Amino acid sequence: MARPMTVAEKILAAHAGLDEVQPGQLVECDLDLVLSNDVTTPIAVREFRKIGVPRVFDPQRVVLVPDHYVPNKDIKSAEQAKIVRDFAREQGITHYYEVGCMGVEHALLPEQGVCGAGDLIIGADSHTCTYGALGAFSTGVGSTDAGVGYATGRAWFKVPETMLIRMNGTLKPGVTGKDVILHIIGLIGVDGALYRAIEFAGDAIRSLPMDERLTISNMAIEAGGKAGIIEVDDVTRAYLDGRTERPYTEYHADPDAEYVEVIDIDAADIEPTVAFPHLPSNTRPVREARDVKIDQAVIGSCTNGRWDDMVQAAEVLRGRKVHPDVRCIVIPATQEVYRRCLAEGLAEVFLDAGCALSTPTCGPCLGGYMGVLAAGERAVATTNRNFVGRMGDPESEVYLASPAVAAASAVAGHIALPEDLD
Amino acid sequence: MEFEGTAFKYGRDVDTDVIIPARYLNSSDPDHLAAHCLEDLDATFVDRVQPGDIIVAEENFGCGSSREHAPIAIKAAGVGVVVAKSFARIFYRNAINIGLPIMECPEAVDAISAGDTVQVDADTGEIRDLTTGRTFQAQPFPPFLQEIINAGGLINRTREKLGVHDA
C-alpha cells in the first residue's frame, strides 16, 4: 500500500514509474508533452542541437506555438518565428500552429484537446501551469529543459509539497475566476506557494465553469506555484470528453494525503478585485479603485482570452461606447474564440463600442506590441503580470482585473464596476 | 569555482521583466541580452558591472516569466554568482541548467552591503565579505543537482547520460 498522496504526487509517481513519491524527492519522469513558443523555442533548439541527437523523442509530443510576437512584430521576431517554423518542418512536428491557426498557447492546447487530465507537461512558458485546471501536472520551465525534453521526453523534478486552498460557500454575483485568483494571490503573496503545488478545492471552485477554472490555474505561478491543480469532476469530464486526442487519466487525492498548508477561504468574502502596480499581490477591491483614470484597456491573453471572457466583456460593452480618452483592445485568444465572436455577434458589439479587435497574440501582455504603453500611461488589463515595464515604458502602470471590470473601466475612463455604468 | 567582486544589492521579488525586459526578447543573443541586463531596475548596472561581480538580493529572486534569457543576461553580463534569500523556482532551475552559480544564504544577504568586496567559493558554498571580514555558509545543493552543476549544466549531463560523443 503506497503512502497517501496528493494529485501532484500521484501524477509524478506514475510518470516516474514509482508506486509512491514524497515531497523533496528528486525524480526523473517521462513527459506527455513538451511545449515552447516563439520566444523560448529558438534557445531550446540551440540547446537541442548541442545534445547531438538528430530527432526529437516523438514528433507528436512536441508542441510548438508561435504566439508571443506573431504575426511577426519586427524583423528580429520574424527571424525567431522562422527558427520555430523551420524546426517544426525539419522534425515533422504535428502540433505546430501557423499564423491563421494559432492561438495563445495556454488557451489553444485545452481547447484543441491536446492536453488532458493526468498528463505530465513541461512548457517553456511560465503559464504552462494553466492545464492544472484539467487535472494535469503542468509546469513552466526554461528553454534548456525544453531542449532536453525535445531530445529525451524526460525531465527532472523535485516533488513539491502540496498546499490546499479550499474555497467553500457561494461567490457573489459578478465575482469571476479572475477575482478569485487575484484574491488568493493578495492573501498569500507572490511567493506564497514558492516551490509548492497548489490544489484548489471546495464547492466554490467546483461551481465554476472550465474557462474560469483555467484562469485560476493559469495564475498559480503568480504566487510562485509549480502547479495549480483542480481535481477532475463532472465539469472537467464534460469539457474533456470528445475533445482530447488521447485518453485521459483521473487522479484523485487520497483522503489522508498530507498538505504542507491548508487555507480555507469563504467565497462570500471575495469582491471584484484589482491588482495595483507593480505586483499581482497588490490587490484591492475594485470599489476602492474608482479614482484611477486609465488610458487603455486590454481584454485577452492566456489568462482571460477565452469564450466566457469575451461574453463577460461583451455583456458590459453591448450598447455602450468606449470612453474617448481610452483605447480598448480586445484579443480573442484563439482562432476558434475569434470565429465564435464573429458568428455570435460579439465582434459587432466590440466594434460598435469602439474597440480594436485583434487576431490572437500575446502581444501587449508582455509589452511586445499591439498596445505598448508610453511613459505615464495606465492600463487596466485582464492579463497576469503588472511588473515595472511589463506592458511598455518602465514609467507606465498596469492594473490587473477581470474582463467585466476591464470592459466597465474602458467605458467609464477609470477603474469601475459594471454596475457603475447604470 | 571561485569568484571575487563587488556586491550589487537589490530587494525582494526582482522579476524577470526587470532582469531582461520583454522588448529585448526578439533576440536570444547573449551579448544583446547582457547589454540590457537589469536596465529597468538599475539603469547603471550594465556600465558598472565587472567580471566576477556578485548580485545579492532578498527573497524570490527571478520571479515571473520562464525566460531563460534572464539568467543568460546575468551570466553574459559577467556576474559570477547570485546570492539570495530565496529564488523563484523556474529561475532556480534555469540557473542550474545553464551553469550560472546561485546560492541561498539569508544571513549573507542581511550582512553584505552594496559595494562590499565579496569572495565566493561556488564549490563549497563559502561566502566571505572581505570588506567586513565576515564569513557565511550557503545551503548545499542536493547531490542530484550538484551532479548537473559539476557536469557544467543540463546539456552536458544529458550528453553524458545518452552517451553522445562528438563525431
* Chain-centroid distance, C-alpha A80: 23
DSSP A98-138: -TTT---HHHHHHHTT---TT-EEEEESGGGGGGGGGT-EE
Average the pLDDT over A281-308 and give the result: 98
What pLDDT does residue A1 have? Answer: 64
Cell 474564440 locates to: A337
- In whole angstroms, how far apart are CA B53 and each of A247, A339, A389, B115? 51, 53, 26, 10
Q: Is the dihedral of CA A64, A69, A72, A75 positive or negative?
A: negative
A191, A195, A303: best mutation site toward chain B, by most B Cβ within 10 Å?
A191
CA-CA distance, A148 to A156, in Å (whole number)?
10
Count helices and strands in chain B by DSSP H and E runs: 8, 7
CA-CA distance, A81 to A75, in Å (whole number)?
10
Evaluate if residue A406 carries a pLDDT over 70: yes
**pLDDT tens-digit series, residues A191-210:** 999 999 999 999 999 999 99
* Chain-centroid distance, C-alpha A16: 26
CA-CA distance, A375 to A87, in Å (whole number)?
38
CA-CA distance, B45 to B50, in Å (whole number)?
10
Evaluate if residue A405 carries a pLDDT over 70: yes
**pLDDT tens-digit series, residues A316-368:** 999 999 999 999 999 999 999 999 999 999 999 999 999 999 999 999 999 99
Is A140 in CB contact (< 8 Å) with chain B? yes
Q: What is the pTM of this model?
A: 0.96
- Name the architecture of domain A273-417: 2-Layer Sandwich (3.30)
CA-CA distance, A417 to A10, in Å (whole number)?
42
| Listed range (A172-181, A224-233, A273-282, B154-163) with the worst mean pLDDT | B154-163
Distance (Å) from the C-alpha of residue A225 to the closest C-alpha of chain B? 8
**pLDDT tens-digit series, residues B12-66:** 999 999 999 999 999 999 999 999 999 999 999 999 999 999 999 999 999 999 9
User: Does A273-417 match A7-265 at the fold level?
Assistant: yes
Average the pLDDT over A115-124 and give the result: 98
What pLDDT does residue B166 have? Answer: 62
- Cell numbers at A367, concatenated: 509589452
DSSP A218-246: HGGGGGT-SEEEE---HHHHHHHTTT-SS
Is B25 in CB contact (< 8 Å) with chain A? yes
| Domain ranges, ordered by start, for chain A | 7-265, 273-417
CA-CA distance, A178 to A189, in Å (whole number)?
16
Domain A7-265 has CATH 3.30.499.10: yes
% of chain A residues with pLDDT over 90: 99
Distance (Å) from the C-alpha of residue A136 to the closest C-alpha of chain B? 18
Evaluate if residue B167 carries a pLDDT over 50: no
What pLDDT does residue A286 have? Answer: 98
- Contact call for A190 and B93, based on CB within 8 A: no
A198-237 in b/e form (b: 16+ CB < 10 A) is bbbbbebbbebebbbbbbbbbbbbbbbbbbbbbbbeebbe
What pLDDT does residue A152 have? Answer: 98
What is the residue-averaged pLDDT of chain A? 97
Distance (Å) from the C-alpha of residue B21 to the closest C-alpha of chain A? 7
CA-CA distance, A396 to A403, in Å (whole number)?
21
- Cell numbers at A381, concatenated: 488589463
What pLDDT does residue A348 have? Answer: 98
- Contact call for A52 and B164, based on CB within 8 A: yes
Nearest to A124 by CA among A145, A103, A138: A145
CA-CA distance, A8 to B148, in Å (whole number)?
24
Cell 497576469 locates to: A384
Asked if residue A378 lies in contact with residue A370, where contact means CB atoms within 8 angstroms, the answer is no
| Listed range (A24-28, A88-92, B141-145) with the worst mean pLDDT | B141-145
Is A153 in CB contact (< 8 Å) with chain B? no
Is B43 in CB contact (< 8 Å) with chain A? no
CA-CA distance, B20 to A120, in Å (whole number)?
29
What pLDDT does residue B144 have? Answer: 86
Distance (Å) from the C-alpha of residue B151 to the closest C-alpha of chain A? 13
Is A149 in CB contact (< 8 Å) with chain B? no
**pLDDT tens-digit series, residues A27-60:** 999 999 999 999 999 999 999 999 999 999 999 9
DSSP code of A373? B
Residues in A closer than 8 angstroms to B40, CB to CB, are 388-389, 394
ipTM value for the complex: 0.94
- Contact call for B162 and A69, based on CB within 8 A: no
Q: Is the dihedral of CA A392, A397, A399, A405 positive or negative?
A: negative
Is B20 in CB contact (< 8 Å) with chain A? no
